[in-house]
Amino acid sequence: MTIRRLLTLSLFSPVLLGAQTTRRQFTHADTLRGSNGPARAWWDATFYDLHVAVNPADSSVRGWNAITYRVLRPANEMQIDLQVPLAIDSIVQDGRRLSARRDSDAFFVALVAPQQRGAAKTVSVYYHGKPKVAKRPPWDGGLTWQRDSLGNDWIATTDEGLGASVWWPNKDYLADEPDSQRIAITVPRPLTDVSNGRLRSTTQNADGTTTYEWFVTSPINNYDVEINAGQYAHFGDVFNGERGDLTLDFWPLAYHVDTARVQFQQVKPMLKCFEHWFGPYPWYADGYKLIEAPHLGMEHQSGVAYGNHFKNGYAGRDLSGTGWGMKWDFIIVHESAHEWWGNNVTTKDAADMWIHESFANYAEGLYAECQDGKEAGDAYIIGSRKLIKNDEPIIGTYGVNREGSGDVYYKGGSMLHTIRQLVNDDEKWRGILRGIQSTFWHQTVTGAQIEHYIATHSGLALGPVFEEYLRTTKVPALEYKIENAKLSYRWTNVVPGFAMPVRVAVGDGAGYTWINPTAEWKAMPRPVGGGAQLRVDPNFYVTVKDASAAPAGRGAGQGAASGRLETTVKFTGM
Ligand SMILES: [Zn+2]
């Protein structure tokens, strides 16, 4: 998703920051939603056949989802999620109506037919109601019933975090994606619905509605499944990429088509850059689409929702403060990066959202690098650090659908940029990024798997590095002192075993050299000039503390709290 806490917390509502850091009590409903409970673990969703009629006249939906699944082990109770206030009309399997008990946003269906291991079964869920209306999409999502500037209905869904069960019944659990999905959306004429994948058919119904049948041939996150209904224009193009011809389909509102034809020219260089760094676009079979939406944007798979008003930057601003972020459209770049990080490789648990957002933020820096060179990319990442809060760890709470800090964006991106410095070989680093994408192609993964992959393929002992940046709010502080022409240094404010090498320079005009600090004081073998200052390569997300002049008794043995750091590495780039 596009940066939510920047808007909700960092800039406009600092008051909310306190609320964010308050420890939240988790409920039974959070566990039902976020864990692989006993009524979920025995079945594997293989196909969702979703049919929904949308009625803007009374903000309601009505439809059914035929859920095909493979039985992993016999069971007689099945959890299907559908959020209040939506109601289930009936649940049918093998021609028999089944009963279910409701537990807030989950239904527990009593199965009658035998569920034999390995069998493929289908259960159909018929439902209706008025889904939660999005308060501030895409962050506080649900259904958006909007009108465009000509007064036409404009309808969209957004439900990452909240869950797709806010508008359709499914297994609302990140770790289980269907292998494919039909999305058949019925809307009043003259609206056009644009959903994920490819349009297979359009049916004009006798009641003045049209059914748009879209089909996704690949595994898809349920929160990526979308309705976008409006009065759209369409134009297409073809990108010749690593896997051949990729169709590009653009769906701006009809009166924005000329503007869109210009702004959406940014798609091809974006795809070229990301294929270079991450490997083939993951959905050649389903195509690439941009669909204008009545919200800022969302990484809906093979159909990115776009609402950046055809401007460069993030809603017209550069988040990095360096100027480089104004040279391209943040929503095209960030949301499309999620096609690799989030959609192709998907976290099994919201707690590991860094797999989506840290890499998507990092991808912005790579895009700046593709466009304007390595210094631009470095400056973009470094500039974005001013938005880091270090309020709570990046990794959230497992099993309860709970993300960690909003630092998942900039701190996570800076962590990856720091690891790139440690790898110290850009082709090797690119191979690691592409390797994650090919190894976990169309899969759901744990954060631990990604950490393990990067550590193994870099050959670096990255355990404490991930621990520090992902699981604590600490920032490594390089403490140094220069006494009698001797430079000594150590890490403070670090987790046990943290021994990250770092590039430093001592004295004006000196080049960078690697040192290998640990939590113990070490000395540089060669003498340094008196009065020299130590500089750390700003590509490393660390702080620096000169302990030379520290009063006796201060410094040694005290973890340097961030508030006491004398020197924060700053980059004065563009
Ligand atoms: Zn995002």
Q: How would DSSP label each residue in 69-83?
A: EEESS--SEEEEE--
Residue 492 is encoded by which pair of tokens?
């403070």
Question: Would you tell me the crossing angle of helices 354-372 and 447-458 to the nearest 10 degrees?
Answer: 50
> 368 CA to middle of ligand 1, Å?
17
pLDDT of amino acid 41: 98
Buried b (16+ CB within 10 A) or exposed e, 375-392: ebbbbbbbbbbebbbebb
CA–CA dist 434, 428 (Å, integer): 10
Answer whether 355's CB lies under 8 Å from 345's CB: yes
pLDDT of amino acid 504: 96
Answer whether 255's CB lies under 8 Å from 321's CB: no
**Residue of 71, 64, 281 lying closest to 186 (CA atoms):** 64
> 299 CA to middle of ligand 1, Å?
7
Average pLDDT across the chain, whole number: 92
> 360 CA to middle of ligand 1, Å?
6
11: DSSP letter: I
Q: In the predicted model, what is the mean pLDDT of residues 130-136?
A: 98
> 294 CA to middle of ligand 1, Å?
17
> Is the bond preceding 38 in cis, omega lying within 30 degrees of 0?
no
> 3 CA to middle of ligand 1, Å?
6
pLDDT of amino acid 1: 82
Buried b (16+ CB within 10 A) or exposed e, 405-430: bbbbbbbbbbbbbbbbbbbeeeeebb
Residues with CB under 5 Å of ion ligand 1 are 1, 357, 360
pLDDT of amino acid 526: 83
pLDDT of amino acid 565: 32
Q: How confident is the model at residue 2 (pLDDT cuts 50, 70, 90)?
A: confident
pLDDT of amino acid 510: 81
> 74 CA to middle of ligand 1, Å?
38
pLDDT of amino acid 509: 79
Question: 562 pLDDT exceeds 60?
Answer: no
> 506 CA to middle of ligand 1, Å?
38
> 332 CA to middle of ligand 1, Å?
11
Q: How would DSSP label each residue in 80-123?
A: EE--TT-EEEEEEETTEE--EEEETTEEEEE--S---TT-EEEE
pLDDT of amino acid 232: 98
> 362 CA to middle of ligand 1, Å?
11
CA–CA dist 164, 226 (Å, integer): 9
pLDDT of amino acid 564: 30
Question: 171 pLDDT exceeds 50?
Answer: yes
pLDDT of amino acid 550: 52
Q: pLDDT for 302-315, tens place per residue?
A: 999 999 999 999 99
Q: Phi, psi at residue 270, to the nearest 5°? A: -65, -50
Q: What is the three-state SS of 532-543?
A: CCEEECCCCCCE
**Residue of 75, 9, 16, 66 lying closest to 41 (CA atoms):** 75
**Cα→Cα distances 32→81, 106, 351, 373, Å:** 9, 7, 15, 47
Whose tokens are 């420890």? That residue is: 23
> 33 CA to middle of ligand 1, Å?
21
Poorest-pLDDT segment among 7-11, 190-194, 439-443, 468-472: 7-11
**Cα→Cα distances 237→117, 138, 338, Å:** 46, 27, 21
Tell me the percentage of the chain whose pLDDT exceeds 70: 92
> Is the bond preceding 85 in cis, omega lying within 30 degrees of 0?
yes
DSSP strand pairing (443-445 vs 345-347): parallel
Question: 15 pLDDT exceeds 60?
Answer: no
> 571 CA to middle of ligand 1, Å?
25
> 305 CA to middle of ligand 1, Å?
12
> 338 CA to middle of ligand 1, Å?
7
Residue 337 is encoded by which pair of tokens?
């990066």
pLDDT of amino acid 327: 98
CA–CA dist 269, 299 (Å, integer): 18
Q: How confident is the model at residue 31 (pLDDT cuts 50, 70, 90)?
A: very high
> 1 CA to middle of ligand 1, Å?
3
DSSP strand pairing (228-230 vs 192-193): antiparallel
> 321 CA to middle of ligand 1, Å?
19
Q: In the predicted model, what is the mean pLDDT of residues 199-222?
A: 98
Q: pLDDT for 315-356, tens place per residue?
A: 999 999 999 999 999 999 999 999 999 999 999 999 999 999
Q: What is the three-state SS of 294-340?
A: CCCEECCCCCEEECCCCCCEECCECCCCCCHHHCCEHHHHHHHHCCC
pLDDT of amino acid 290: 98
pLDDT of amino acid 10: 38
Q: pLDDT for 384-402, tens place per residue?
A: 999 999 999 999 999 999 9
> 139 CA to middle of ligand 1, Å?
11
> 358 CA to middle of ligand 1, Å?
8
Q: How confident is the model at residue 548 (pLDDT cuts 50, 70, 90)?
A: confident
Q: How confident is the model at residue 571 (pLDDT cuts 50, 70, 90)?
A: very low
Poorest-pLDDT segment among 92-101, 471-480, 525-534: 525-534
> 347 CA to middle of ligand 1, Å?
13
Q: How confident is the model at residue 549 (pLDDT cuts 50, 70, 90)?
A: low
pLDDT of amino acid 566: 31
Percent helix, strand, coil in the chain (nearest 5)?
25, 30, 45
**Residue of 332, 337, 339 lying closest to 309 (CA atoms):** 332
> 359 CA to middle of ligand 1, Å?
9
> Is the bond preceding 269 in cis, omega lying within 30 degrees of 0?
no
Buried b (16+ CB within 10 A) or exposed e, 318-340: bbbbbbbbbbbbbbbbbbbbbbb
Q: How would DSSP label each residue in 192-254?
A: EE--SSEEEEEEE-TTSEEEEEEEE-S---GGG---EEE-B--EEEEEEETTEEEEEEEE-BG
pTM (two decimals): 0.93
Answer whether 544's CB lies under 8 Å from 536's CB: yes
Residue 33 is encoded by which pair of tokens?
């939603």
> 487 CA to middle of ligand 1, Å?
42
